[in-house]
Chain A
Amino acid sequence: MIRIVVGFALLVAATGASAADTIDQPSVGRALRGSAHVSGKLTRERGFVSHRYRAVTDGFVKITLATGAKRPYLRVLTVPSTTRRGEGWSTNEPSLVVRVARGSELELVATLAVNITKGTAVGEATYELATVEMTP
């Protein structure tokens, strides 16, 4: 079983570009706004990719990470604001649902479960990250 840990210390590092590509210091990918999607490739050099998402409606967002043949691992962190600070989620499932308010931002980190197990990027796969906003 994959140990799932979301840490406060990790929140600071998610946004910055860094030479070291890790779960705590991911590469930076294209931003998403509202319901949108992006695709790319996870490699040994770029195995953890962060995409900033900005909500355009109040409600929930379903974040789906699909990877070619490899089990995904998704980490989501809030971008600190006056009302939200320090929140984080992670899963070894393809999707995650998070409550959002219009204008709030999240960092979505896409990687593979095997990269979490090994602690470094070892797997390669294409990925597609999608956000679908849902209103109750």
Chain B
Amino acid sequence: MKLAVVIALLANATLAEARLHQDGYDTPTETHVELVVGLWHDDKLTPDHGWNHYTFVAPTSGYVAVQMRAPRDHATLWSYLRVIDGDHNWAAVANRVTNLSEVVVAVERGHHYDIIATSQRNATLEPGERQITDGPYTIGVVPIALP
């Protein structure tokens, strides 16, 4: 019974998202952009496209910092990053002072990682609620030399 209720709620949420023509946690927008170490990529979030999906293939093994920066004091965009490796997840919400979010992960050479940029506001919406985040940001991957 409980499972049925959960499924029904999820179905309603999915339908609501479709009606609103917006992407979401489980249905991010595919940017077709592969992030490259040391190169920054400028992008934006809109109410329709509030979850942007990138890929990253590690050129070497070691630590990297995935960073997302948005304008300070932006009204609706509070940077929020997810790094996904299969069913392993790391998430970070930004420093309110700098609006910079950072996920530091140990990566393996040649391995594929999924990276999703969104805003804290989008990450905490109720099912069916409209996304309002609208603003620019920059995303990149920086190598970090750690023991």
Which A residues fall within an 8 A CB radius of B?
1-9, 60, 78, 82-93, 96-99, 134, 136
Contact = CB atoms under 8 A, between A and B. Distances in A.
Nearest to A9: B124
6 contacts: A5-B124, A6-B92, A85-B96, A87-B93, A87-B96, A91-B90
Contacts, number: 86
Chain B interface, >50% SS class: strand
A1 B93 contact: no
Contact of A87 (B87, B90, B92): B92
Nearest to A73: B89
A2 B146 contact: no
A91 B120 contact: no
Chain A interface, >50% SS class: loop
B95 A93 contact: no
Interface stretch (B34-42, B44-52, B99-107): B99-107
A89 to B, nearest CB: 5
Contacts of B82: 4
Contact of B93 (A60, A83, A86, A136): A86
A92 B97 CA distance: 27
A9 B124 CA distance: 10
B89 A7 contact: no
Contacts of A2: 89
B132 interface: no
